[in-house]
Amino acid sequence: MFHYLTLAALLFSIGLFGVITRRNTIGILMSLELMFNAVNINFVTFNRYIMTDGLTGQIFAIFIVVVAAAEATVGLAIVLLVYRNWRGIDSDNYAVMKW
Amino acid sequence: MSQAADVSIVFWILSFVILVCGFLVVSLKNIFHCALCLVLCLTAVAGIYILLGAEFLAAAQVLIYVGAVSVLMIFAVMLTSNLASHKIVQTNQNTMTAFFACLVFALGAVVLIGGTKVWRYATDVLPAENVLTIGKLLMTEFMLPFEVVSVLLLAAIIGAIVLAREEGS
């Protein structure tokens, strides 16, 4: 169990690093997917080793996958919209949303 | 249940692939190569799910992430074409700071996980028929979240179409 949790923690850190350092919005979304996967590994690991009566952890992970898919869909639509208006998808382009 | 017994060579291979590909996803210059590494990384995560006895989740991972989300990412990379070249700087000025922050976070998490000795390990094993149990649970105990999440998906689809549609068409 220690190994799985460590793997998830390392993957989460890698995703966090990507989210902080990427300029490209698609790169940020990809790093977010890595973080979602790390969280899912944690859920499934705890379901396997700690709470084996029922599959609550796996069902929660399924919901996370669905919500992540919805997030990726809307996020990429916004990326395309930003690209159409500013000819670039760096996160600097979103500064115009500030007020 | 001992900790070392169930960690096979497969786990080491899969975690090596996951970590290397994950690092490539956040560090490669060409965003298209990043998307391809993401596909490999997510496939390896599906293998980890199988090791953990979550067969349905592994299949869903392959279908949704490897099949749908990655293709969506690759489409977005291609539609925003000229941005996938090597010449563009892909990172901002925070790289070193972020690296050390994430290193500290990872070390802290690993120390915390390794230092915890009081896990209350379950004595029984997971239900044998994974898919059957998940289907039953989704239709009984988790009925409401299941319906809510389908409404969310519908809203996301409509929202994406409305956002990405050409103006005036």
pLDDT tens-digit profile of B84-139? 555 666 667 778 888 888 899 999 998 988 888 777 777 777 777 888 888 888 89
Q: Is residue B104 part of a domain?
A: no
Q: Which residues 6+ apart lie within 8 Å of B128 measured at CB?
A: none
Least confident of A29-33, A65-69, A85-89: A85-89
* Domain contains B98: no
Claim: this prediction has a pTM higher than 0.90: no
With an 8 Å Cβ cutoff, is A96 touching chain B?
no
**How close does chain A come to B80, measured CA to CA in Å?**
7
How high does pLDDT run on average in chain B?
84
Range of the domain at B75: 1-84
CATH number given to A2-97:
1.10.287.3510
Tokens of B28: 């490669």
- B72 and B150 together in one domain: no
What's the average model confidence in pLDDT over B17-36? 89
> Residues 6 or more apart from B99 whose CB is under 8 A from it?
A17, A21
A64 to chain B, any CB pair closer than 8 A? The answer is no
If asked whether residues B74 and B3 sit together in one domain, one would say yes
Domain spans in chain A, listed from the N-terminal domain onward: 2-97
B72 and B16, same domain (yes or no): yes
| Axis-axis angle for helices B130-139, B143-164 (nearest 10) | 90
Instruction: Please report the pLDDT score of residue B63 as a whole number.
Output: 92
Number of domains forming the structure of chain B: 2
| Contact residues, chain B, for A28 at CB < 8 Å | none
Question: Does a structural domain hold residue B96?
Answer: no
Contact residues, chain B, for A73 at CB < 8 Å: 72, 156-157, 159-160
Q: Is A27 exposed, middle or buried (0-12, 13-18, 19+ CB in 10 A)?
A: buried
Residue B121 inside a domain? The answer is no
- Identify whether B108 is part of a domain: no
